[in-house]
Chain A
Amino acid sequence: AQTVTQSQPEMSVQEAETVTLSCTYDTSESDYYLFWYKQPPSRQMILVIRQEAYKQQNATENRFSVNFQKAAKSFSLKISDSQLGDAAMYFCAYGRWSFQKLVFGTGTRLLVSP
């Protein structure tokens, strides 16, 4: 069974600084997707970024980028120029190609201070 591990329960960053959230996963599949979802206090799940396993290039979305290391089964999220609005829970998630479900990690709470 696929598993997703987020080893950092909480991270802190100052505004305008950069922070990296870690995620590792375990799978025997070769085709899959990885996602980072943001969950603010409203508890809405918001997709931040996605990465297809077959793509070697790391995905980027504005201030958000990933470091995808397929051999190491590692998928970290880098947030540059952190903003107060980035404060939230961040969940790493795994989905198989034509996946039927997402498997989530336990989440990392990101605190952003002025």
Chain B
Amino acid sequence: EPEVTQTPSHQVTQMGQEVILRCVPISNHLYFYWYRQILGQKVEFLVSFYNNEISEKSEIFDDQFSVERPDGSNFTLKIRSTKLEDSAMYFCASRETGPDEQYFGPGTRLTVT
């Protein structure tokens, strides 16, 4: 069964460093998402991406964040200058089209020290 994959599973970085989280969505999916979950809290929407552009973003998704689909398979989330409060689990999700559900990847745990 096709699945969303994410790398790395865990990344530790120092405050102020740039990180890139990578996702490979399911191949025929057209809509891509990033969510984050701070430990013990609910899952929060960050950004959605369709047709090579951002379709919606939350207040969390400020200028420090960017997304890109550099080729036909990868979907990346970049945090330019990490802060301690960026420590969280980051989930990538993809959706085929229409009213289909979103399929989540296993997540990347980001720890900022």
A-side residues, CB < 8 A to B, are 33, 35, 37, 42-47, 50, 52, 91, 93, 95, 97-107
B111 within 8 A of A: no
Interface residues of B, count at CB 8 A: 25
Given contacts A98-B98, A106-B41, A107-B42, contact A45 B91 (CB under 8 A): yes
Chain B residues touching A, majority SS: strand
Q: Chain A residues near B33: list those with CB within 8 A.
A: 101-102
A37–B44 CA distance with the chains assembled, in angstroms: 14
B28 within 8 A of A: no
A31–B89 CA distance with the chains assembled, in angstroms: 30
Q: Chain A residues near B104: list those with CB within 8 A.
A: 37, 44-47
Q: A98 contacts B56, CB within 8 Å?
A: no
Q: B56 contacts A42, CB within 8 Å?
A: no
CB B95 to nearest CB in A, in angstroms, measures 9
B48 within 8 A of A: yes
Q: Chain A residues near B43: list those with CB within 8 A.
A: 45, 91, 93, 102, 104
